[in-house]
């Protein structure tokens, strides 16, 4: 199996599995601060709401609900799988790295040591129209994280 086929398999599995999906079914952990962000991609119809809960400087929970293409749903699932348990600074760095890879138009290789399964979206960077699909949950998570770290920050 080639690396590209493996990456396609990861995306398909996460699109079905949807780790972290079920925002309304999972209460915020006791004592955690949280933020929530709703994002919409009007071009293709992807829509997602992400909630990030932070406790003791770590991402205690990332939950989401959304509808959209396989890339956007798989990306949200990978994000949830990756985020929980990370310290806030590391999580911010991972979001920045993911954004940099996706905006590179295929010129920057994803580092699996940093991005884990999110490396599977490296190929998406070659298709400008699909970058927003992969990024939508990450943008929402970044906004929600900022709210959780600085409670009272309004959602965008």
Q: Residue 154 falls within a domain, yes or no?
A: no
CA 153 to chain centre: 20
pLDDT in tens, 37-74: 999 998 889 999 999 999 999 999 999 999 999 999 99
Q: How confident is the model at residue 156 (pLDDT cuts 50, 70, 90)?
A: very low
The pTM score is: 0.90
Q: Residue 15 falls within a domain, yes or no?
A: yes
Q: Residue 33 falls within a domain, yes or no?
A: yes
Residue range(s) defining the domain that contains residue 98 = 3-149
**How many domains in the chain?**
1
Instruction: Report CA-CA distances (Å) from 140 to 11, 33, 52.
Output: 19, 16, 9
CATH of the domain at 21: 3.90.1010.10
């Amino acid at each position: 199996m080639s690396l590209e086929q493996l990456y396609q398999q990861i995306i398909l599995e996460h699109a079905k599995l949807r780790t972290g999906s079920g925002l309304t079914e999972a209460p915020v952990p006791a004592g955690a601060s949280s933020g929530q962000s709703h994002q919409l991609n009007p071009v293709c119809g992807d829509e997602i709401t992400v909630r990030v809960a932070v406790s003791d400087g770590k991402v205690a929970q990332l939950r989401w609900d959304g509808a959209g293409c396989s890339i956007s749903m798989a990306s949200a699932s990978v994000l949830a799988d990756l985020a929980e348990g990370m310290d806030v600074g590391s999580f911010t760095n991972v979001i920045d790295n993911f954004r940099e890879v996706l905006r590179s138009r295929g010129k920057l290789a994803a580092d699996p040591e940093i991005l884990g399964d999110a490396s599977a979206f490296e190929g998406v960077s070659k298709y400008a129209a699909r970058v927003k699909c992969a990024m939508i949950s990450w943008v929402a998570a970044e906004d929600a994280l900022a709210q959780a770290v600085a409670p009272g920050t309004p959602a965008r």
